[in-house]
Amino acid sequence: MTQADYVIVGAGSAGCAVAYRLAEAGKSVLIVEHGGTDAGPFIQMPGALSYPMNMKRYDWGYVSEPEPHLGGRQLACPRGKVIGGSSSINGMVYVRGHALDYDHWEDSGAAGWGYADVLPYFHRMETWHDGGHGGDPAWRGTDGPLHVTRGRRENPLYHAFVEAGRQAGYPVTGDYNGRQQEGFGPMEQTVYKGRRWSAANAYLKPALKRENCDLVRGLVERIEITEGRATGVVLADGRVIHARAEVILAASSINSPKILMLSGIGPAQHLAEHGISVVADRPGVGGNLQDHLEMYIQMAAAQPITLYKYWNLFGKAMVGAQWLFTKTGLGATNNFESAGFIRSRAGVQYPDIQFHFLPIAVRYDGQAAAEGHGFQAHVGPMRSQSRGRVSLRSSDPAADPLIRFNYMSTQQDWEDFRACIRLTREIFAQDAFKPFVKHEIQPGDAVQSDDALDDAIREHAESAYHPCGTCRMGRADDPDAVVDPEGRVIGVDQLRVVDSSVFPQITNGNLNGPSIMTGEKMADHILGRAPLPPSNAEPWVNPAWETSQR
């Protein structure tokens, strides 16, 4: 248990995928994970998603530093401390990202990461179930480890949301993960046979059935670096796990840069302040931190058809019992079953606003159901220009890192967010919602002016929990890049980073899908294999984008 060809730090979304592919190829693999088992109903039951995210047992429990542009609020930044990582505590929403996101990655120095290059990996990782709702089968995978499904969309509000989008003049799309992201349609989830289909269920558990793959419990203190090359990892209890070939860091966009800095890889001055000797001066480590902010636009419902009727002990017990015995019902879905991707204004080439629709008005942490029956759309801008940083609080490996997102630090952020709220209100004002809307709960009908909206954003905007970008991938001669396009840490041999921290720019939508794809593609680079042949599928871009918002 003390040495292997490859030592992977972190059994999260990308780390599990890498472990699976390396073990499949016959390499010996040890995965080091600080968190424990994902057994039990709170993680495996999709409808219980608000619980594991708020349990210290499963979550690192990080919070941001006081955010200067959000009135000094500290925002929660949950990260999974359990096998499967954040894929075991997330909302299970599955979004690949927009084709042009990846073309921007390539343009910014991540050669070989354009959409044509990554689409074959999305194919390889998926088994897609359309659930009879249509879609783009030619664009989807049929035999990958990750099962992607759609909810049953039985509540009429799911259909009202898509119809209202259509009435407002937006396209309808049968598959936002296929040819056309832009528009309104069914939302996809990493749920299979009524259970959360995390990276642990999809990749890690099958990998661990092989004799050449094992899991070690422990907190990584630092990477052991000998004469400029990574040779293993040192755990907080003094154990050393040796890597014959490479150390692969997949500890999240918060913990990967932290571990690099504790190992002497990062901004030299910052490391010196904490008494850490510099192995490689990489100023980009911890920088380029990005996230999605969102607000919940909540409406009171005129009819008692929302999930609020289950928002009591008896209702929750009924849902839980049905799920426990049959893996069906409201416990077998994340209840995000309709989606929308739109552009905020003419001249924006591809969607920069995402909607998650939910047929109940409730906080993400499940702690406060609003005034009885209601529903909500989570909305926020996809491509903020704001950038933050993860840095060390101290040289103690047990100390939480300092997380400064620097949200809403540009004027454009405020303009984009106000547009999000106004465009959402316009959708809820369509005829499709006439039978269902009573009044607006949040931010409230009285909140109309720019200043009033800004106050509401300052008070109510929450993280969508999509941090990324802190070990940016780029050209090896780019001083701000941390890894090259094959994930190799620039300036240290036999060390890679393979998680969402390598994203040069945040992708459209939720990050679990792109994180797993990153692990899949990096596994081929680690194995020295030629990448899968590029796709020549042509994604749809609104032909009128230059002159029209919809």
Cα distance between residue 170 and residue 183, in whole Å: 6
What pLDDT is recorded for position 130? 85
What pLDDT is recorded for position 365? 66
pLDDT in tens, the chain (550 residues): 799 999 999 999 999 999 999 999 999 999 999 999 999 889 999 999 989 988 999 999 999 999 999 999 999 999 999 999 999 999 999 999 999 999 999 999 999 999 999 999 999 999 999 877 779 999 999 999 999 999 999 999 999 999 999 999 999 999 999 999 999 999 999 999 999 999 999 999 999 999 999 999 999 999 999 999 999 999 999 999 999 999 999 999 999 999 999 999 999 999 999 999 999 999 999 999 999 999 999 999 999 999 999 988 999 999 999 999 999 999 999 999 999 999 999 999 999 999 999 999 987 666 556 679 999 999 999 999 999 999 999 999 999 999 999 999 999 999 999 999 999 999 999 999 999 999 999 999 999 999 999 999 999 999 999 999 999 999 999 999 999 999 999 999 999 999 999 999 999 999 999 999 999 999 999 999 999 999 999 999 999 999 999 9
Amino acid residing at 203: Y
Q: How far apart are the first and last CA of the chain?
A: 57
What pLDDT is recorded for position 134? 79
Q: Which phi and psi (to 5°) does residue 67 adopt?
A: -85, 115
Tokens of 250: 């997949």
Residue 90 marked ligand-binding? yes
Residue by residue, DSSP assigns 226-276 as: ETTEEEEEEETTS-EEEEEEEEEE-SHHHHHHHHHHHTTEE-HHHHHHTTP
Residue 502 marked ligand-binding? no
205 sits in which H/E element: helix 205-208
Sign of dihedral through CA atoms 250, 251, 255, 260? negative
Tokens of 286: 């911890």
Q: Which residue has the tokens 């994902």?
A: 38
What pLDDT is recorded for position 370? 65
DSSP-assigned letter for residue 432: G
What pLDDT is recorded for position 54? 86
What pLDDT is recorded for position 366? 67
Residue 82 marked ligand-binding? yes
> At 17, is the secondary structure helix, strand, or coil?
helix
User: Where does the chain hold its CATH 3.50.50.60 domain(s)?
Assistant: 1-148+189-286+389-405+467-529
Class assignment of domain 1-148+189-286+389-405+467-529?
alpha beta
Cα distance between residue 374 and residue 306, in whole Å: 6
Span 488-537, pLDDT tens digits: 999 999 999 999 999 999 999 999 999 999 999 999 999 999 999 999 99
Sign of dihedral through CA atoms 47, 53, 55, 58? positive
Q: What would you report as the CA-atom Rg of the chain, rounded to the nearest whole angstrom?
A: 22
Question: For residue 332, what are the CA distances in angstroms to 152, 261, 326?
Answer: 10, 41, 9
What pLDDT is recorded for position 364? 65
Class assignment of domain 152-186+293-381+409-460?
alpha beta
Cα distance between residue 361 and residue 364, in whole Å: 10
Cα distance between residue 271 and residue 266, in whole Å: 7
Residue 220 marked ligand-binding? yes
364 sits in which H/E element: none
Q: Which residues contact 529 (CB under 8 A, 6 or more apart)?
A: none
Cα distance between residue 46 and residue 92, in whole Å: 8
Phi-psi region of 481 (alpha: psi -120 to 50; beta: other; left: phi over 0): beta
Q: Which residue has the tokens 């424990």?
A: 36
Cα distance between residue 326 and residue 33, in whole Å: 32
Residue 482 marked ligand-binding? no
What pLDDT is recorded for position 363? 77
User: Of these residues, 69, 104, 466, 525, which one is catalytic?
Assistant: 466
- Positions of E strands within 284-406: 293-301, 338-342, 353-358, 374-381, 389-391, 402-404
Residue 91 marked ligand-binding? yes
Q: Which residue has the tokens 């911890």?
A: 286
133, with CB counted inside 10 A (0-12, 13-18, 19+), is: middle
Cα distance between residue 457 and residue 447, in whole Å: 11
CB atoms within 10 A of CB 217: 13
- Strand partners for 59: 80
What pLDDT is recorded for position 367? 59
Tokens of 268: 């030299």
What pLDDT is recorded for position 147? 98
Cα distance between residue 169 and residue 183, in whole Å: 10
Query: How many residues does the structure list for the chain?
Result: 550
What pLDDT is recorded for position 24? 98
- Positions of E strands within 64-196: 76-77, 126-128, 146-150, 183-186, 188-189, 191-192, 195-196
Is the Cβ–Cβ distance between 8 and 30 less than 8 Å?
yes
Helix axes 156-167, 411-428, angle to 10 degrees: 110
Told to judge if 466 belongs to the known catalytic residues of this protein, a careful annotator would answer yes
User: Where does the chain hold its CATH 3.30.410.40 domain(s)?
Assistant: 152-186+293-381+409-460
Q: Which phi and psi (to 5°) does residue 455 adopt?
A: -60, -40
